[in-house]
């Protein structure tokens, strides 16, 4: 059909929308059937399947490339993310605990990873998110682990070393900070509220644009935005979503010193996702007591021999003894891959403390 006029184009769009909706509804009915098949076969794992979701999203990107767009692969994958989120909500509504209050970047990470059809519940501290999932009051938790400017989130690392939960996913979120206030402009601002990490990410901008204005740390960016909404002569550094939520004006956008500022979040839960085509495994280990020379080298050497890529290593005081450290290591691959399994076995034999935190699909969107 040739689309000459606006009316032609719109009637074609109407026809396509009908078709798209018919197919989404059919997909939702199939997801309900999936739920019944799982129940009939006695499969008691959660309906949420991180490995399957990662494959569906990867395929959406591949297909988009094959079909030649014109939407970006990432945009198409996000649309599919929302479709799958709605289908999963029909099977089981997911309760996900995150670092609140509303308007935090962690909340944005929840929606980026799970889509919007989840019951996101705000917790007030990282430890509380772990407790929510451990006690079953939430099925999954989303915790920040690392920021590209400021480094690791130590309370998450410490909680991971202790928890019986495992990591079952990851999400990377570009973090763009806004200066938000009830005021019309930034002259006369008496205090700026934000999370210490966000202050650190905007240090240069603040030094130049708001020199001498006191910076008051808050437990989260969401809390900072809420405070700025109550105090008209103050401002907050937080996300655009927090600004909208608390009715604040954006006085300056994207004020982070590094435009590529990104935070990585982890999904924690009770699941151990099966292998996909692109996974990561996180472990924590320590050298045996005694402090012999080359102990860290001996711990990591099996990975080098097995040709396994290390994507990250971080050390933290173990709290078991003074000057004893836990090493948090991320490697590429799944613990069920033969080479990874062999290297992990060797490491287990050499380490003082050893724990697999989880194997999970690498972030797709």
Ligand X SMILES: O=C(O)C(=O)C[C@]1(C(=O)O)C=C[C@@H](O)C=C1
- The structure tokens listed for 334 are 């799944």
Q: Is 88 in the site for ligand X (CB under 6 A)?
A: yes
Q: Is 87 in the site for ligand X (CB under 6 A)?
A: yes
Q: How far is the C-alpha of 310 from the C-alpha of 58, rounded, in Å? A: 23
Q: What is the DSSP letter of 17?
A: H
CB of residue 97 to ligand X, shortest distance in Å: 18
Give the number of residues in contact with ligand X, rule: CB under 6 A.
12
Where is 127: in which H helix or E strand?
Answer: helix 126-135
CB of residue 30 to ligand X, shortest distance in Å: 8
Comparison of 24 and 339: residue with beta carbon closer to ligand X: 24
Tell me the window of 45-53, 153-161, 216-224, 341-349 that interacts with ligand X (CB under 6 A).
Answer: 45-53
Residue for token pair 């076969």: 41
Tell me the window of 83-91, 268-276, 312-320, 356-364 that interacts with ligand X (CB under 6 A).
Answer: 83-91
Q: What is the DSSP letter of 45?
A: S
CB of residue 34 to ligand X, shortest distance in Å: 4
Burial 99-108 (b: 16+ CB within 10 A, else e): bbbbbbbbbb
Q: Is 91 in the site for ligand X (CB under 6 A)?
A: yes
Torsion of CA 104, 105, 106, 110, to 10 degrees: 110
Please identify which of the residues 114, 130, 199, 265 carries the catalytic annotation: 265
Provide the β-strand partners of residue 263: 147, 173
CB of residue 262 to ligand X, shortest distance in Å: 25
Tell me the window of 17-25, 52-60, 192-200, 322-330 that interacts with ligand X (CB under 6 A).
Answer: 52-60
Q: How far is the C-alpha of 70 from the C-alpha of 92, rounded, in Å? A: 34
Query: Residue with CB nearest ligand X?
Result: 87
Tell me the window of 48-56, 149-157, 195-203, 215-223 that interacts with ligand X (CB under 6 A).
Answer: 48-56
Comparison of 12 and 27: residue with beta carbon closer to ligand X: 27
Q: Is 160 in the site for ligand X (CB under 6 A)?
A: no
Query: Given the DSSP bridges, would you call strands 262-269 and 166-174 parallel, antiparallel or unpaired?
Result: antiparallel
- The structure tokens listed for 153 are 């989130």
Is 265 one of the annotated active-site residues of the chain? yes
Please identify which of the residues 104, 106, 263, 281 carries the catalytic annotation: 263
Comparison of 34 and 152: residue with beta carbon closer to ligand X: 34
Q: Is 34 in the site for ligand X (CB under 6 A)?
A: yes
Q: Is 48 in the site for ligand X (CB under 6 A)?
A: yes
CB of residue 32 to ligand X, shortest distance in Å: 10
Q: Is 90 in the site for ligand X (CB under 6 A)?
A: no
Are 165 and 139 a contacting pair, CB within 8 Å? no
Q: Is 49 in the site for ligand X (CB under 6 A)?
A: yes
Are 266 and 156 a contacting pair, CB within 8 Å? yes
Tell me the window of 46-54, 133-141, 214-222, 335-343 that interacts with ligand X (CB under 6 A).
Answer: 46-54
Question: What is the full DSSP assignment across 159-227?
Answer: HHHH-S-EEEEEEEEE---EEEESSSSSTT--EEEE-HHHHHHTHHHHHHHSTT--EEE-S-HHHHHHH
Q: Is 52 in the site for ligand X (CB under 6 A)?
A: yes
Q: How far is the C-alpha of 61 from the C-alpha of 16, rounded, in Å? A: 21
Are 220 and 101 a contacting pair, CB within 8 Å? yes
- The structure tokens listed for 225 are 């935005």
Position among 6, 22, 31, 364 found at the interface with ligand X (CB under 6 A) = 31
What residues numbered 290-319 form the site for ligand X, per CB under 6 A? none
Query: Given the DSSP bridges, would you call strands 119-123 and 95-99 parallel, antiparallel or unpaired?
Result: parallel
Are 331 and 283 a contacting pair, CB within 8 Å? yes
Comparison of 82 and 128: residue with beta carbon closer to ligand X: 82
- Count how many Cα atoms sit within 13 Å of the Cα of residue 221 in the half-sphere of its side chain: 26
Q: How far is the C-alpha of 352 from the C-alpha of 318, rounded, in Å? A: 11
Position among 77, 84, 159, 192 found at the interface with ligand X (CB under 6 A) = 84
Which residues participate in catalysis according to the annotation?
A: 263, 265
What is the binding site for ligand X (CB under 6 A)? Answer: 31, 34, 47-49, 52-53, 56, 84, 87-88, 91
């Amino acid at each position: 059909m040739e689309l000459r006029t606006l009316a032609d184009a719109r009637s074609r769009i109407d026809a396509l929308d009908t078709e798209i909706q018919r197919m989404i509804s059919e997909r939702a009915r199939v997801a309900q059937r999936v739920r019944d098949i799982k129940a009939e076969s006695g499969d008691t794992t959660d309906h949420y399947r991180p490995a399957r979701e990662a494959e569906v999203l990867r395929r959406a990107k591949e297909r988009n490339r094959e079909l030649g767009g014109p939407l970006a692969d990432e945009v198409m994958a996000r649309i599919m993310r929302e479709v799958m989120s709605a289908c999963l909500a029909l099977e089981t509504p997911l309760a996900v605990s995150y670092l609140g209050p509303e308007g935090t970047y962690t909340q944005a990470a929840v929606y980026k990873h799970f889509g919007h059809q989840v019951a996101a519940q705000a917790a007030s501290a990282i430890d509380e998110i772990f407790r929510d999932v451990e006690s079953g009051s939430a099925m999954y938790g989303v915790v920040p682990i690392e920021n590209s400017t400021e480094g690791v989130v130590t309370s998450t690392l410490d909680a991971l070393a202790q928890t019986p939960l495992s990591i079952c996913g990851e999400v990377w979120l570009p973090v763009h900070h806004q200066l938000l206030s009830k005021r019309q402009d930034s002259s006369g601002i008496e205090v700026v509220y934000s999370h210490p990490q966000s202050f650190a990410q905007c240090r240069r901008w603040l030094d130049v644009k708001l020199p001498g204005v006191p910076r008051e740390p808050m437990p989260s960016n969401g809390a900072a935005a809420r405070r700025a909404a109550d105090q008209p002569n103050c401002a907050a550094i937080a996300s655009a979503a927090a600004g909208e939520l608390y009715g604040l004006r954006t006085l300056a956008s994207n004020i982070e010193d590094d435009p590529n500022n990104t935070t990585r979040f982890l999904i924690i839960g009770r699941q151990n996702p099966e292998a996909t085509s692109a996974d990561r495994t996180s472990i924590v280990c320590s050298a045996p007591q005694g402090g012999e020379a080359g102990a860290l080298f001996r711990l990591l050497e099996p990975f080098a021999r097995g040709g396994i890529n290390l994507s990250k290593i971080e050390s933290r005081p173990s709290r078991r003894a003074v000057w004893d450290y836990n090493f948090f290591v991320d490697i590429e691959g799944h613990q069920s891959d033969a080479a990874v399994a062999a290297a992990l076995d060797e490491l287990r034999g050499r380490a003082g403390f050893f724990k697999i935190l989880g194997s999970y699909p690498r972030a797709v969107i």
